[in-house]
């Protein structure tokens, strides 16, 4: 099925990225382009996405039995630069049949330009019966849905050493102020910075910083402010968002609290997640804010599989709220969108939207699905057991990462680069003004 997308004139990539301002506001923008028949059912469905290495291997393993039973070959290609490449491929008419996106904002941008196929009726029915309405809505524009949820991550886990905490008779903090007190106690007790953080991640450098801001805005100001921020009704220069930057800076910009052994504060921009994993495993640092998918990094960097459990080598607590009690959290996800609509492509997309596929992938470890009918026991990983339980128990307080829902020119552009500049010393207000200035007009 190779070059399966409809050929259209090539738009400047910047123009492609400014289509959507809010999650569902595209209906008032340019007219949606209705696509006809695209692709050929030739027994091969090409998929591209950002999953590489072990993630890609497990992805391919998860559908191998289904491929054989249904006589369809799924040809997956992963790239660390997928988010940058897919827009160009769509414009040039050589997009894959299906693509796995980490950012719904980019799917919505492409959909409003007519590149992405609306979900076929059969796939839509499967999506509606498999996933919570909140997840279905992330890629819904006006009356149409353009992607199916695939995998999920629970953000906001603070990884730590249970043995180190037990030796000092410490417990997980219940509030933000308690977290700061704990941080200073650990610094004084160990005479080194307790936190390690890394923003370096190829084209996604700065994404870990976005997660800090996303989590703090939601925890400090709740869903109402968070939702208005996503749609830019509240700008980055608003006092609520600026407070989140300031509070994140209490940890990330404090040389006495962050990146022992790596360097000063600016070393965050040259430190990778894999290096953070190594530092946690060897005890160089004691705390790090990471998503549930951090388990993959721990497994890749350790000589053996790291025991992540309440009594293991590492465990995690959720980044605490300002006030003890309810603790909202952010999630991230992968979504499958189609550039073709032939029978084979539709069949594969429908399978990937099913609970059967979700359970197949989860059994392999290292990943969870946002599907409603999964259970914590569907994954062998203890931290993912806890992640599933939290996700299914507090949906009203949860939100997808703001950076993923913002227009891609922001979420995958200026917000990312802004976090890198911020760590390098650019003032909070200057970063906010730069990001606000890039927001699509209309």
Q: What is the pLDDT of residues 126-168, one digit of tens each?
A: 999 999 999 999 999 887 999 999 999 999 999 999 999 999 9
Determine, yes or no, domain membership for 245: yes
Identify the CA nearest to 412 among candidates 103, 31, 81, 169.
103
Q: Is the pLDDT of residue 194 over 90?
A: yes
Identify whether residues 308 and 379 lie together within a single domain: no
pLDDT of residue 223: 93
Identify whether residues 273 and 185 lie together within a single domain: yes
Q: How confident is the model at residue 219 (pLDDT cuts 50, 70, 90)?
A: very high
- In angstroms, how far is CA 288 from the centroid of its own chain? 17
Determine, yes or no, domain membership for 30: yes
Write the CATH number for 261. 3.40.190.10
Determine, yes or no, domain membership for 39: yes
Return all residues near 362 (Cβ < 8 A) that are at least 6 apart.
Answer: 368, 369, 374, 378, 379, 384
Strands (E) in 105-203, as ranges, are: 140-141, 144-145, 148-154, 157-160
Pull the structure tokens for residue 180.
């700061």
What secondary structure does DSSP assign to 387-413, as a single string?
HHHHHHH-GGG-EE-HHHHS-HHIIII
pLDDT of residue 41: 82
Q: How confident is the model at residue 369 (pLDDT cuts 50, 70, 90)?
A: very high
Determine, yes or no, domain membership for 291: yes
Identify the CA nearest to 120 among candidates 94, 151, 97.
97
pLDDT of residue 26: 35
Pull the structure tokens for residue 388.
């599933």
Average pLDDT estimate for 396-419: 92
Determine, yes or no, domain membership for 6: no
Range of the domain at 370: 13-153+332-388
Terminal alpha carbon distance of the chain: 37
Identify the CA nearest to 271 among candidates 280, 262, 279, 260.
262
Q: In total, how many domains does the chain have?
A: 2
Identify whether residues 349 and 312 lie together within a single domain: no
Percentage of the chain exceeding pLDDT 70: 90
Determine, yes or no, domain membership for 356: yes
Identify whether residues 48 and 135 lie together within a single domain: yes
Pairing of strands 157-160, 315-318: antiparallel
Identify whether residues 311 and 196 lie together within a single domain: yes
Determine, yes or no, domain membership for 400: no
User: What HEC string does 322-370 produce?
Assistant: CCCCCCCCEEEEEEEEECCCCHHHHHHHHHHCCHHHHHHHHHCCCCECC
| Model confidence pLDDT, tens digit, residues 165-192 | 999 999 999 999 999 999 999 999 999 9
Identify whether residues 167 and 85 lie together within a single domain: no
Identify the CA nearest to 317 among candidates 386, 215, 251.
386
pTM, to two decimals: 0.88
Q: Is the pLDDT of residue 1 over 80?
A: no
Return all residues near 145 (Cβ < 8 A) that are at least 6 apart.
Answer: 118, 119, 124, 127, 136, 139
Identify whether residues 205 and 232 lie together within a single domain: yes
């Amino acid at each position: 099925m190779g070059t399966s997308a409809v050929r259209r004139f090539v738009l400047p990539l910047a123009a492609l990225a400014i289509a959507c301002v809010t999650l569902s506001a595209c209906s008032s923008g340019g007219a949606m382009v209705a696509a006809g028949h695209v692709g050929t059912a030739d027994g091969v469905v090409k998929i591209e996405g950002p999953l590489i290495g072990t993630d890609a291997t497990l992805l391919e393993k998860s559908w191998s039995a289904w491929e054989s039973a249904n006589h369809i070959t799924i040809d997956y290609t992963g790239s660390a630069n997928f988010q940058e490449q897919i827009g160009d491929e769509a414009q040039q008419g050589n997009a894959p049949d299906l693509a796995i996106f980490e950012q719904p904002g980019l799917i919505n941008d492409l959909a409003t330009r007519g590149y992405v196929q609306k979900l076929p009726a059969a796939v839509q029915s499967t999506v509606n019966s498999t996933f919570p309405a909140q997840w279905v809505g992330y890629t819904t524009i006006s009356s149409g849905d353009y992607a199916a949820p695939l995998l999920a991550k629970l953000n906001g886990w603070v990884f730590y050493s249970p043995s180190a905490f037990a030796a000092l008779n410490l417990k997980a903090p219940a509030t933000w102020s308690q977290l700061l007190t704990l941080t200073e106690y650990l610094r004084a007790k160990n005479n080194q910075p307790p936190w390690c953080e890394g923003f370096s991640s190829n084209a996604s450098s700065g994404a870990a910083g976005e997660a800090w801001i996303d989590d703090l805005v939601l925890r400090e100001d709740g869903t109402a402010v968070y939702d208005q921020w996503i749609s830019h009704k509240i700008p980055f220069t608003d006092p609520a968002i600026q407070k989140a930057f300031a509070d994140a800076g209490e940890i990330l910009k404090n040389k006495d609290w962050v990146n022992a052994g790596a360097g000063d504060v600016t070393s965050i921009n040259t430190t990778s997640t894999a290096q953070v994993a190594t530092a946690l495993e060897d005890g160089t640092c004691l705390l790090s804010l990471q998503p549930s998918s951090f388990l993959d990094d721990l497994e890749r960097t350790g000589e053996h599989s790291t025991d992540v459990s309440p009594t293991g080598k590492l465990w995690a607590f959720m980044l605490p709220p300002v006030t003890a009690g309810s603790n909202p959290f952010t999630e991230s996800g992968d979504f499958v969108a189609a550039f073709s609509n032939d029978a084979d492509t539709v069949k594969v997309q429908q399978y990937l939207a099913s609970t059967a596929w979700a359970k197949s992938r989860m059994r392999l470890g290292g990943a969870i699905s946002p599907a409603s009918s999964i259970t914590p026991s569907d994954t062998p990983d203890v931290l993912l057991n806890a992640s599933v339980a939290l996700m299914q128990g507090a949906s009203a307080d949860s939100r997808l990462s703001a950076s993923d829902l913002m227009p891609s020119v922001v979420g995958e552009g200026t917000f990312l680069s802004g976090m890198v500049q911020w760590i390098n010393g650019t003032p909070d207000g200057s970063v906010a003004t730069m990001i606000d200035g890039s927001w699509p007009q209309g």
